[in-house]
Structure 1
Amino acid sequence: MNPIAIILLVLLILSGIGLIIFILLHSGKGTGISDAIASSVYSTQTGTSIVEKNLDRITIALVIVFMVSLVLLMIFYPQGSITAGQ
């Protein structure tokens, strides 16, 4: 397999797993995992907003990595032609 394909596939898989984890950490209506963590770390409401902002930033970065690696894989291998013989 091509080294570029390996790098892009690893980025795609790691960012996908990261997206799953960080999306699950987001709180829906104040009952999420991030609120439980934030309430134990910070005792005020400002701590929760800091945690949520950091979760948003990390999630956006992972989305960008995921989409760029996906688009690059689609450009380099349009017909799914990643094989062991290349």
Structure 2
Amino acid sequence: MNPLLIIMLVLLVLSGIGLIVFILLHSGKGTGISDMIASSVYSTQTGTSIVEKNLDRITIALAIVFMLSLIVLMIVYPKGSIG
């Protein structure tokens, strides 16, 4: 196997798994009854905190890595002929 193929496939898989994990870590932005109750009980502040900004940055970076590795694989192997 080509070393470029191995590196790109590893990047694609790791960034895909990372995207799933970090998207699930984001807090919900709902306006339903459960959010009203939770906000009154826990008195959460509106706005983004440092943690949410960092989650956003990591998620965007992982999405860029995922898309770039996907594009590189599409350019290098245009017909899907790996092997």
TM range (shorter): 0.7 to 0.9
TM-score, normalising length from structure 1?
0.74
TM-score, normalising length from structure 2?
0.77
Amino acid at match of 2:52: E
RMSD: 2.1
- State the partner residue of 1:14: 14
Amino acid at match of 2:3: P
Q: Which structure's relative contact order is higher, taking Cα pairs within 8 Å and 6+ residues apart?
A: 2
- State the partner residue of 1:78: 78
Task: Measure how far apart 1:45 and its partner are.
Answer: 4.5
2:56 is equivalent to residue 56 of structure 1: yes
SS in 2 for 1:21: helix
Unaligned residue ranges in structure 2 (runs of 5+): 35-41
Query: Deviation digits for residues 26-75 of structure 1, max 9, x if unmatched?
Result: 011378xxxxxxx9xxxx859x6111000000000000000000000000
Say which one has the larger Rg: 2
Percent identity, please: 80
Deviating above 2 A after TM superposition, structure 1's stretches of 4 or more consecutive aligned residues are: none
- Residues 37-52 of structure 1 aligned to structure 2 (within 5 Å): 45=45, 49-52=49-52
Count of paired positions: 71
Amino acid at match of 1:4: L
Amino acid at match of 1:2: N
Q: Distance in 1 between the 2:66 and 2:58 partners?
A: 12
